A and B are shown apart, each in its own frame.
Chain A
């Protein structure tokens, strides 16, 4: 029988992989995709717990997470296009104006 712990374990593995991707990759779009992976693993936890506790609140929260992810996608990709227009690259190592 599948318990809520199975779903939470899958979610933990996906979240750790997303963390690794955000910290290692240099391409800004891939970092963005890894953030989406982390958001989705949290969504899986929300829905598993909401189904386990027989409540609707977690699923409404998932909907708000999706709204914020859509807004983030629009603004983040616009930022990347604007950065690419200035620097001809979307490598995060080139975003070093604040470095000493």
Chain B
């Protein structure tokens, strides 16, 4: 039963991804991308990571997509943009198929190994996923967390400076 649901969600995700790369209008591409984000959020719930699913919907499908659609509407791209909207299809197809075959080859032939941690599914369900992530961020990954905050500050200042009329 679960595997049928998985294949259904995977099909929707791949079809929406195809819409992102093939639709002529950028707004249709953006809607396909939102659909893909929701499918990935469903995958995260199936992988016992509900906090990541919530963050995926709030940050990606909410904030980033609203920003992208806002810019599409602001620039108001006309009909002239739609005549030729792709270039270099043959070489790009070859490159992306090589990437796909390479990765599928490694997935089929390799075996997933690694040092197993102690966060079992039972532990996630009894403690709560958010608590475990918070503990990991504020103890083990404290320095990267602070660096990420500085990165966000730099991005805010940079966006304001770039979008201003006269610097």
Q: Which residues of A contact B (CB under 8 A)?
A: 1-2, 4-10, 12-21, 23-27, 29-30, 32-34, 36-37, 40, 43-44, 47-57, 59-60, 62-64, 66-75, 77-82, 84, 89-91, 93
Contact = CB atoms under 8 A, between A and B. Distances in A.
Interface band, chain B: 35 or more
Interface of B is mostly: helix
B117 to A, nearest CB: 3
Given A17-B20, A37-B33, 8 more contacts: A24-B86, A33-B20, A36-B60, A51-B49, A60-B136, A71-B154, A74-B67, A84-B75
A57 B139 CA distance: 12
A70 B155 contact: yes
15 contacts: A8-B103, A15-B103, A19-B99, A25-B85, A30-B29, A33-B26, A33-B68, A34-B21, A37-B20, A40-B37, A47-B49, A54-B119, A66-B56, A75-B162, A89-B81
Contact of A81 (B59, B75, B87, B91): B75
Interface string B72-102: 1011010001001111110111011101100
B155 A75 contact: yes
